[in-house]
């Protein structure tokens, strides 16, 4: 049986039929429009429901609410406000408040600008003056240099009545100034006006001469009056300049023990350094009542300085060079007033205005003795202290002379040698003396002439002794030999003090550091590894390279100006393969010199080494020859303690390779 499909749902209880096919809007429009009765019934139902939900209020409460509402909706005249016509004011937005903030910000900035420009700016401009000094802080004595005073007005107002006053260091000599200073016053400058944002400068040229290490301070003061001001302002600047060097080297040779009434000599040695600005100077000797300065005796000296003695104790040196010059000064103490005397020498530079400035001084101390027997001790030809080396032989000469008015009888002469490094087994005499401890003595038994020494009679005692070879250094020991002689009439009693007048000059020979240079030329190193290349012995037309090794050893004193040099033959080339534990190795193509520059070598660095390669390409003329590869190297240094110049030279090395146990042979080029 076929079923019929329906498109509606019917509710029999409520009498409602819902058409499923048609829309609800269509169904709504088909409903009948309610009449007035239906509307009244609907409103009545609504009112009843509202009454049930909101019961009636109390009358007093109603009146109170009504009064409150009236207060809200009444205007200023007591009339009710028409809410329908009421204007609603909008709140201010972001842009409103943004522009308000900007306005007040600009207003504040304007107020500050007004305050700054009228009050602060005026006072700031008055102090907006830059004032400073510039110039060299280290100079060599006599060097010409500039001081510059810089003035800059960075403000917006000009300044007037500008005055600059300078206080110079006492050892500063003015050569020129720019711009010109106030007439007859090189320390004062005046400017009528200095405009805003302008600058000026003062240049002062001059020299400083003084002792090494002396510092001079220049001070500049500036006073000025800013525009629209009634008060004066001041600025100040200072600069310190130090004399770092004098540009000259001095040395003094003299004997510190002198005999009253006897003529002695001081030899002053000097030379100009590379950076020197003093071309003449004056030497003055501080006068003393018992001191006599004598004229030159006409004795010839090598490298004698160009000088004149203006008067006793004043000498003028006319010219200088880097070559060392000597100037002898003869003097004597007329009598003995003190056991010790000091002589002060001053060295002064004369400027263009003939004004003298001291730049160096030296005090020499002397032991003055008064004795009829003059004893003079000489070691290795010198009466003064000097450095000696380990293993050296000390050759002594003791000169005695009777300077009294009568003969001297039974004279005993003793020499005292104080040192831990003398080898007494090597002592040799011209005339045998008596040894006891560290002394040697001679009497009439050894030297018959000492039985009676006539007036002005003199004699010489000669002997020699060696210094021990270098050993392990011991810093607790004094590495020196201190020597002096003394005499007595009759026997010298042991333990009895000897009067200083009976003593000779004292000589201290400090032992130089044990600097040693070893040099080896090799084809194979100590491990039998080849460090050379090419044929050996060398072959004509082919290149052979060798390695040169240098080693320096030093244990005692610190060394300065240490350098090793080697000049290569024209046929030997430097291969530029070098290494050094300290310092630098350089090769000069023009002079063909290899230099190992070390400079300072402290005691803590007791060993240093270097190596480099050389090459040889023999020509046909060299066939069947033994060729010299290195002619010998030299090492030199200055001992910091003894101030002696140490030097050593090595032997020449050939193609025989004398130092190479494997490659050594006849070394003949084939």
Residue 42 confidence (pLDDT): 63
Compute the average pLDDT of residues 384-404.
Answer: 91
């040695």: which residue's tokens? 269
Distances from the Cα of 507 to the Cα of 370, 395, 415, 485, 545, angstroms = 19, 13, 12, 10, 52
Q: What is the pLDDT of residues 292-310, one digit of tens each?
A: 999 888 788 888 999 999 9
Residue 231 confidence (pLDDT): 86
**Which pair of structure tokens corresponds to residue 119?**
């009050």
Which segment of 8-12, 214-218, 355-359, 484-488 scores lowest on mean pLDDT? 8-12
In degrees and rounded to multiples of 5, residue 621 shows phi and psi of -70, -20
pLDDT confidence bin for 63, thresholds 50/70/90: low
d(CA 411, CA 485): 13
Report the mean per-residue pLDDT for the chain.
83
Q: What is the pLDDT of residues 359-393, one digit of tens each?
A: 999 999 988 877 778 888 999 998 888 899 999 99
The continuous run of DSSP H or E covering 189 comes out as: strand 188-194
Compute the average pLDDT of residues 90-118.
Answer: 68
The continuous run of DSSP H or E covering 123 comes out as: helix 121-127
Identify the three-state secondary structure at position 274: coil
Residue 133 confidence (pLDDT): 94
Q: Between these two residues, 118 and 280, which has the higher pLDDT value?
A: 280
Compute the average pLDDT of residues 36-57.
Answer: 62
Compute the average pLDDT of residues 32-51.
Answer: 64
Instruction: Check pLDDT > 90 for residue 405.
Output: no
Are 461 and 453 contacting, i.e. CB atoms less than 8 angstroms apart? no
Residue 3 confidence (pLDDT): 43
pLDDT confidence bin for 102, thresholds 50/70/90: confident
Whether pTM > 0.85 for this model: the answer is no
Q: Where in the chain is the domain with CATH 2.60.40.1170?
A: 516-654
Compute the average pLDDT of residues 657-665.
Answer: 82
Residue 1 confidence (pLDDT): 40
Instruction: Check pLDDT > 80 for residue 497.
Output: no
Which segment of 252-261, 434-443, 450-459, 573-582 scores lowest on mean pLDDT? 252-261
Q: Count other C-beta atoms under 10 Å from residue 484's C-beta.
A: 19
Domain spanning 248-369 has what CATH number? 2.60.40.680
Compute the average pLDDT of residues 524-547.
Answer: 89
Q: In what order do the strands lie in the sheet with 373-379?
A: 373-379, 393-402, 458-467, 422-429
């300072």: which residue's tokens? 600
Compute the average pLDDT of residues 566-586.
Answer: 90
Instruction: Check pLDDT > 60 for residue 54.
Output: no
d(CA 637, CA 512): 11
Instruction: Check pLDDT > 60 for residue 69.
Output: no
Instruction: Check pLDDT > 80 for residue 80.
Output: no
Instruction: Check pLDDT > 70 for residue 125.
Output: no
Q: What is the pLDDT of residues 165-188, one digit of tens each?
A: 999 998 899 999 999 999 888 999
Q: Count other C-beta atoms under 10 Å from residue 275's C-beta.
A: 10
Q: What's the per-residue H, E or C state across 232-273?
A: CEEEEEEEEEEEEECCEEEEEECCCEEECCCCEEEEEEEEEC
Q: Measuring CA to CA, which residue among 323, 480, 493, 507 is closest to residue 412?
A: 493
Q: Which of 3.10.20.30, 2.40.160.40, 2.60.40.1170, 3.40.50.300 would CATH assign to domain 516-654?
A: 2.60.40.1170
Compute the average pLDDT of residues 487-499.
Answer: 56
Alpha-carbon Rg of the chain, whole angstroms?
A: 55
Residue 254 confidence (pLDDT): 87
d(CA 308, CA 314): 9
Q: What is the pLDDT of residues 2-33, one digit of tens each?
A: 444 444 444 444 444 444 444 444 454 455 65
Instruction: Check pLDDT > 60 for residue 120.
Output: no
pLDDT confidence bin for 68, thresholds 50/70/90: low
Compute the average pLDDT of residues 55-62.
Answer: 54
Q: Which of 1.20.1260.10, 3.40.50.300, 2.30.42.10, 2.60.40.740 would CATH assign to domain 373-510?
A: 2.60.40.740
Residue 11 confidence (pLDDT): 43
Instruction: Check pLDDT > 90 for residue 563.
Output: yes
Q: Where in the chain is the domain with CATH 2.60.40.680?
A: 248-369
Instruction: Check pLDDT > 80 for residue 553.
Output: yes
Q: Measuring CA to CA, which residue among 374, 370, 377, 365 is closest to residue 483?
A: 377
Which segment of 137-151, 370-384, 449-463 scores lowest on mean pLDDT? 370-384
Q: Where in the chain is the domain with CATH 2.60.40.740?
A: 373-510
d(CA 163, CA 647): 62
Q: In what order do the strands lie in the sheet with 325-333?
A: 248-253, 264-272, 325-333, 291-294
Residue 83 confidence (pLDDT): 52
């Amino acid at each position: 049986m076929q079923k019929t499909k329906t498109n509606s749902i019917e509710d029999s209880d409520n009498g409602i039929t819902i058409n499923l096919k048609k829309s609800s809007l269509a169904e709504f429009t088909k409903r009948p429009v309610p009449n007035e009765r239906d509307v009244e019934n609907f409103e009545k139902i609504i009112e009843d429901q509202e009454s049930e939900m909101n019961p009636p209020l109390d009358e007093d409460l109603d009146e109170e609410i009504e009064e409150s509402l009236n207060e809200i909706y009444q205007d200023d005249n007591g009339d009710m406000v028409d809410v329908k016509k009421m204007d609603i004011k909008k709140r201010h937005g972001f842009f409103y408040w943004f522009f308000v903030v900007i306005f007040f910000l600009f207003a504040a900035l304007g107020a500050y600008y007004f305050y700054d420009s009228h009050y602060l700016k005026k006072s700031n401009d008055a102090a907006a003056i830059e004032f400073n000094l510039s110039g060299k802080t280290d100079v060599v004595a006599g060097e010409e240099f500039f001081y510059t005073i810089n003035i800059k007005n960075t403000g917006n107002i000009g300044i007037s009545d500008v005055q600059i006053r300078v206080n110079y260091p006492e050892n500063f000599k003015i050569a020129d100034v720019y711009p010109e200073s106030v007439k007859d016053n090189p320390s004062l400058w005046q400017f009528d006006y200095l405009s805003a944002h302008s600058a000026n400068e003062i240049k002062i040229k001059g020299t400083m001469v003084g002792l090494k290490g002396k510092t001079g301070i220049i001070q500049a003061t500036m006073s000025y009056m800013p525009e629209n001001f009634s008060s004066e302002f001041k600025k100040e600047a200072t600069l310190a300049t130090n004399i770092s060097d004098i540009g000259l080297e001095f040395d003094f040779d003299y004997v510190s023990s002198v005999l009253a009434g006897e003529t002695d000599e001081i030899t002053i040695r000097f030379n100009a350094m590379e950076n020197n600005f003093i071309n003449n100077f004056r030497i003055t000797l501080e006068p003393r009542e018992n001191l006599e300065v004598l004229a030159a005796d006409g004795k010839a000296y090598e490298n004698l300085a160009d000088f004149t003695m203006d008067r006793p104790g004043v000498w003028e040196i006319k010219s200088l060079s880097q070559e060392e010059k000597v100037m002898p000064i003869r003097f004597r103490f007329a009598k003995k007033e003190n056991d010790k005397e000091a002589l002060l020498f001053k060295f002064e530079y004369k400027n263009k205005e003939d004004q003298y400035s001291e730049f160096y001084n030296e005090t020499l101390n002397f032991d003055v003795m008064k004795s009829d027997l003059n004893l003079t001790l000489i070691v290795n030809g010198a009466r003064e202290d000097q450095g000696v080396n380990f293993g050296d032989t000390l050759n002594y000469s003791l000169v005695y002379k009777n300077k009294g008015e009568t003969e001297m009888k039974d004279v005993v002469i003793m020499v005292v040698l104080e040192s831990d490094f003398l080898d007494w087994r090597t002592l040799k005499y011209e005339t045998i003396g008596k040894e006891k401890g560290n002394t040697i003595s001679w009497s009439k038994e050894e030297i018959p002439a000492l039985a009676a020494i006539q007036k002005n009679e003199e004699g010489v005692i000669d002997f020699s002794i060696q210094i021990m070879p270098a050993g392990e250094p011991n810093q607790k020991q004094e590495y020196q030999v201190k020597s002096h002689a003394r005499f007595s009439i009759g026997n010298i009693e042991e333990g009895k003090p000897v009067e200083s007048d009976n003593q000779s000059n004292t000589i201290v020979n400090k032992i130089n550091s044990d600097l040693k240079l070893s040099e080896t030329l090799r084809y194979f190193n100590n491990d039998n590894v080849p460090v050379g290349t090419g044929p050996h012995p060398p072959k004509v037309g082919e290149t052979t390279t060798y390695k040169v090794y240098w080693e320096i050893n030093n244990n005692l004193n610190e060394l300065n100006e240490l350098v090793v040099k080697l000049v290569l033959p024209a046929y030997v080339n430097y291969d530029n393969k070098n290494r050094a534990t300290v310092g630098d190795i350089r090769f000069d193509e023009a002079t063909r010199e290899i230099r190992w520059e070390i400079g300072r070598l402290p005691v803590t660095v007791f060993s240093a080494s270097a190596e480099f390669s050389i090459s040889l390409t023999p020509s046909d003329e060299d066939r069947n020859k033994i060729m010299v590869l290195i002619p010998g190297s030299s090492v030199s240094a200055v001992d910091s303690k003894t101030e002696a110049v140490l030097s050593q030279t090595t032997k020449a090395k050939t193609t025989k390779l004398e130092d190479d146990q494997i490659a050594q042979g006849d070394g003949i080029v084939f």
